[in-house]
Amino acid sequence: MGDARAERLAARSLLTASAVRERANEILAAGIDGRLPHFSVDMSRLPRAADIVAGVVRDTYPTGGVPFHARWRHFVVAGHDLWAARAAAAGWPDPAARTRAAFDLAIVSVLLDAGAGADWRYHDAATGTILGRSEGLALASLRMFEAGAFSADPADPLRADAERLAAITAADLAAGFQAGTANPLVGLGGRAGLIARLGATVAASPAVFAGRDAPRPGGLFDHLAQSGRRLPAPRILEALLTNLQPIWPGRLTLGGVALGDTWRHPAVRRDDPTNGLVPFHKLSQWLAYSLIEPLEDAGLAVGDIGELTGLAEYRNGGLFVDAGVIALHDPAAAERPHPVDGALVVEWRALTVALLDAIAPLVRDRLGLTAQAFPLARVLEGGTWAAGRRLARERRADGSPPIRVSSDGTVF
């Protein structure tokens, strides 16, 4: 019993943003010392990368006002905020109902957002817009949500109900995302399985997800609101990681606790059951960032936002590769696809998280902004993600990342 309890406590210590930051920085330290098997690190190139990021921020937001890096940005198409317009016309009975719907949309949309691949496109009939990658996935998920694809109540389409989510199939998503042989979407089955498990998990936890309504992801709002009018951002992440543990497929477990987006790398050493384990929680952290605005709209004050980490994904990671801050020992490895659990990908993602912390103050210095005015959530949006995309387009015709990753549609 003692060992099992110790393992459970050790596992829960990995379900935090602080664990992500601590272990990512250990891998960066190993890289600076030349002790990593796959990457070298040249910190002398970081100032030039910060110049690039600051330039992108100035170009994109010439008058300032950089928003948080959140799913809501991807619902703005050709200057029109599609979700804001739809929400304004919805006529919800109270702010809590509106926030539950926003949580429903954000949770489903973010969980559907792992890399789409270079070839997939979504054609939006209403606007005539054709989008790929994250923006296309966002728009497709929004249109499915508006159409009631995730609702169990035909009279109330703007919701996601556990029973409907649990029944989602790959065919449902293929139809909503216009995916098929001629328009392949990476990891379609993995995405459908993730959403179905979301539905089953929500249904099995009514105390968390059905406090004021039928079981739905948006019920998490009521659960969080019980904490009072001020909510630390890490608490949002911990609630997501704790209550959505069962949705992650085939992942590592410790003491019976599913560890989600956690992988192994030999550079992280501990004298406890977490030895070699490196957490990232990329989708969960992006979801935590995306829930901040609905919570604030509902009157809650979200604090300690800077305690969340940067996101271990290929646009931020591509920035540091394309800017020469990190480099593969074997350049030919960039041409081969790598599994998400492989040491090379784990190393790249950890370096990304740690280097985002390192570049943020340099970007602020160039913009003349404080950490309070320009937290990491704005650095990401302004920012490193956009700069990574710009460099990718400049260096590769298809804008693909500099390193190929084999995705199942639930991680990267």
**pLDDT tens profile 60-80:** 999 889 999 999 999 999 889
Mean pLDDT value across residues 266-288 = 95
Does 223 fall in a domain?
yes
pLDDT of 215 > 50? The answer is yes
Place of tokens 């970081």: 46
Is the residue at 411 inside a domain?
no
Query: According to the model, what pLDDT value does residue 1 have?
Result: 47
In a domain, 412, yes or no: no
The stretches of 131-281 forming alpha helices (DSSP H) are: 133-146, 162-166, 170-176, 188-203, 206-209, 219-225, 233-243
Give 3-state DSSP helix, strand, coil % of the chain, rounded to 5.
Answer: 55, 10, 40
Q: Is residue 319 part of a domain?
A: yes
SS3 of residue 318 by DSSP = helix
Pairs from 88-95 (Cβ < 8 Å, separation ≥ 24): 90/158, 95/297, 95/298, 95/299
The mean pLDDT of the chain is: 94
Residue 248 confidence (pLDDT) = 82
Residue 59: Cβ within 10 Å count: 10
Check whether 411 has a pLDDT greater than 70: no
Could you give the CA distance from residue 224 to residue 201 in angstroms, rounded to a whole number?
Answer: 17
The answer for 399, left when phi > 0, alpha when psi is -120 to 50, beta otherwise, is left
The domain of 136 spans 2-406
Q: pTM for this one?
A: 0.93
pLDDT digits (tens, 9 = 90+) for 130-175: 998 889 999 999 999 999 999 999 999 999 999 999 999 999 999 9
**What span, in angstroms and rounded, lies between the C-alpha atoms of 303 and 208?**
22
State the Cα torsion 361-367-373-376 to the nearest 10°.
-40
Over residues 47-53, the mean pLDDT reads 98
In tens, the pLDDT along 80-122 reads 999 999 999 998 999 999 999 999 999 999 999 877 788 899 9
Q: Is the peptide bond before 383 cis (omega within 30 degrees of 0)?
A: yes
Residue 325 is assigned to a structural domain of this protein:
yes
What is the number of structural domains in the chain? Answer: 1
Residue with tokens 């784990």: 346
